[in-house]
């Protein structure tokens, strides 16, 4: 009788599935599908992250345009240069700008 790596015996059905060509093919197919699904899940998460970052950048760019009277292109270049100068990603810099704006609005509301 076959046994698992830890020495526990396998049931007859499981042992037959592992030793038969069809059983091995099904197991390989299942593993391939699981791997493919994991890849798709990772890709989806990366796409969602990129979209969240893009939204942050667009919002920060809008604030820069409004407060600094810049065109969209100028605001983008400003955001890109500032993020490079501070060794931050554009998304991190955009979040910092949005956070600062929110903090300043609260201060204005309290005065």
Strand segments, DSSP code E, in 17-74 are none
Domain that includes residue 105, residue range: 12-110
Residue with tokens 């069809």: 22
Q: Please report whether residue 21 resides in a domain.
A: yes
**Tally of domains within the chain:** 1
Quote the CA–CA distance of 97 and 92 in Å, as a whole number: 9
Predicted TM-score of the model (pTM) = 0.68
Q: Decide if 1 is inside a domain.
A: no
97 falls within a domain: yes
Note whether residue 40 is domain-resident. yes
Q: Is 65 exposed, middle or buried (0-12, 13-18, 19+ CB in 10 A)?
A: middle
24 falls within a domain: yes
* Residue 3 resides in a domain: no
Is 33 inside a domain boundary?
A: yes
**In this structure, is residue 2 part of a structural domain?**
no
**Tens digit of each residue's pLDDT (9 = 90 or more) over 1-29:** 444 555 555 566 566 666 777 777 888 89
The 10s digit of each residue's pLDDT in 23-62 is: 778 888 999 999 999 999 999 999 999 999 999 999 999 9
Q: The domain that contains 42 carries what CATH number? A: 1.10.10.10
Distance in angstroms (rounded) separating the CA atoms of residues 44 and 50: 10
Q: Kindly list the distances between the CA atom of residue 99 and the CA atoms of 21, 78, 84, 91, in Å, as whole numbers in the listed order.
A: 60, 17, 19, 12
């Amino acid at each position: 009788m076959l046994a698992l790596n830890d020495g526990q015996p396998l049931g007859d059905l499981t042992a037959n599935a592992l030793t038969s060509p069809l059983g091995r093919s099904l197991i390989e197919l299942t593993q391939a599908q699981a791997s493919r699904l994991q890849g798709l899940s990772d890709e989806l998460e990366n796409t969602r992250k990129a979209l969240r970052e893009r939204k942050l950048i667009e919002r920060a760019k809008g604030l820069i345009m409004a407060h600094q009277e810049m065109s969209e292109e100028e605001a983008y270049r400003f955001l890109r240069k500032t993020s490079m100068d501070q060794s931050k990603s554009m998304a991190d810099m955009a979040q910092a700008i949005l956070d600062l704006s929110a903090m300043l609005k609260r201060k204005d509301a309290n005065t």
